[in-house]
């Protein structure tokens, strides 16, 4: 996986750094649902769950529904239960509801998985959504309980990896990245060009996710015999609204050593005078008596 130059901001002002590449927040920035969001940011918001329904925000051609899925090997979803998604009370700042996904993966038996996700384009399954004006996505998340799995994978499905795109012959190897969840509300910023397919399978294997043809987004667990408990809020496209938190950190510039000082050229030395008191060395020929084998 490429180096994760992702911005991660702990929204509750914790002083504990998650990683050296993450940035800590200011407490006054905790209220991400404040009315101060620009019109552009409101349109870029996929869902903040505060309308308490199972549909993502109907804006900019989006409007699909939230769903959960799991294997048939014994994985169980405790919340939300049943076929319909239900929001969960809570969140950061003025947030009223979040998405919570909780349960247990199967102990063994094969391809084990559980996930929560949604389509994007309001035209229904198989309708691609053009997100090429954006550079990535952001969301606020944390572990719902400290004994739950700490790693979940973000998957971005596109026309090349989802069977609805009618391109792939070995499908579901979506572009994505593993996310290490913190125990406090944390903003994760993920850039599209840092996503990768999992190694060793999938056909086709394009160089990057097709941002002009996105089909959906999901968070998936795949570790057997483990508890999962994900809380998530404020899912948003980034990069079109000049958001400060969505700007890439500049790579430190390498220090260039100053050129060495100029050296004055040495003065030419006068040729040494040929000594007159040294006899020339007599050149010795080969030993004619030596036989070469």
Domain of residue 182, CATH code: 2.60.120.430
Cα gap 182→169, rounded to integer Å: 36
pTM of the model: 0.77
Report the domain count for the chain. 1
CB atoms within 10 A of CB 282: 6
Whether 99 is covered by a domain: the verdict is yes
Q: Residue 110 and residue 11: Cα distance in Å, rounded?
A: 38
DSSP codes, 157-211: EETTTSGGGS--SB----EEEEEEPPSS-EEEEEEGGG-BPPTT--B---SS--G
Report the C-alpha gap between 197 and 205 in whole angstroms: 8
Q: What is the pLDDT of residues 157-214, one digit of tens each?
A: 999 999 999 999 999 999 999 999 999 999 999 999 999 999 999 999 999 999 999 9
In contact, 230 and 174? CB cutoff 8 Å: no
* Rounded mean pLDDT, 44-53: 97
Query: Is residue 26 assigned to a domain?
Result: no
- For residue 251, being part of any structural domain is answered with no
The answer to whether residue 142 is domain-embedded is yes
| Cis-peptide into 204, omega within 30 deg | yes
Nearest to 219 by CA among 144, 174, 161, 152: 152
283 inside domain: no
Phi-psi region of 61 (alpha: psi -120 to 50; beta: other; left: phi over 0): left
**Is position 277 within any domain?**
no
**Residues of the chain with pLDDT > 70: what percent?**
73
Q: What is the per-residue pLDDT across 62-101, written as a single tens digit (0 to 9) for each?
A: 999 999 999 999 999 999 988 789 999 999 888 999 999 9
* Residue 110, domain extent: 57-246
Note whether residue 149 is domain-resident. yes
Q: Which residues does 264 contact at the CB level (< 8 Å), separation at least 6?
A: none
Rounded Cα gap, residues 219 and 140, in angstroms:
13
**Mean pLDDT taken over the chain:** 83
**Are 228 and 192 a contacting pair, CB within 8 Å?**
no
Report the distance separating Cα 22 and Cα 10, nearest Å: 9
Does residue 260 fall inside a structural domain? no
């Amino acid at each position: 996986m490429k180096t994760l130059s992702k911005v991660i901001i702990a929204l509750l002002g914790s002083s504990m750094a998650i990683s050296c590449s993450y940035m800590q927040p200011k407490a006054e920035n905790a209220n991400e649902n404040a009315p101060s969001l620009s019109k552009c940011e409101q349109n870029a918001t996929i869902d903040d769950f505060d309308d308490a329904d199972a549909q993502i925000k109907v804006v900019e051609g989006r409007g699909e529904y939230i769903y959960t899925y799991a294997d048939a090997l014994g994985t169980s979803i405790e919340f939300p239960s049943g076929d319909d998604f239900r929001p969960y009370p809570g969140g950061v700042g003025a947030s009223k509801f979040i998405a919570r996904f909780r349960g247990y993966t199967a102990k063994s038996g094969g391809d084990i998985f559980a996930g929560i996700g949604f389509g994007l384009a309001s035209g229904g399954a198989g309708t691609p959504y053009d997100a090429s004006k954006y550079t990535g996505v952001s969301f606020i998340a944390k572990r719902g309980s400290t004994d739950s799995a700490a790693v979940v994978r973000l998957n971005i499905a596109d026309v090349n990896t989802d069977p609805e795109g009618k391109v792939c012959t070995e499908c579901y190897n979506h572009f994505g990245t593993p996310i290490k969840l913190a125990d406090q509300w944390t903003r994760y910023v993920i850039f599209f060009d840092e996503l990768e397919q999992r190694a060793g399978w999938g056909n086709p294997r394009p160089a990057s996710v097709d941002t002009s043809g996105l089909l959906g987004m999901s968070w998936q667990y795949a570790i057997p015999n483990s508890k999962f408990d994900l809380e998530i809020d404020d899912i948003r496209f980034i990069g079109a609204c000049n958001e400060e938190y969505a700007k890439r950190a500049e790579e430190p510039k390498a220090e260039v050593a100053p050129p060495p000082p100029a050296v004055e050229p040495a003065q030419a030395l006068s040729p040494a005078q040929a000594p007159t008191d040294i006899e020339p060395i007599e050149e010795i020929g080969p030993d004619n008596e030596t036989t070469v084998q």
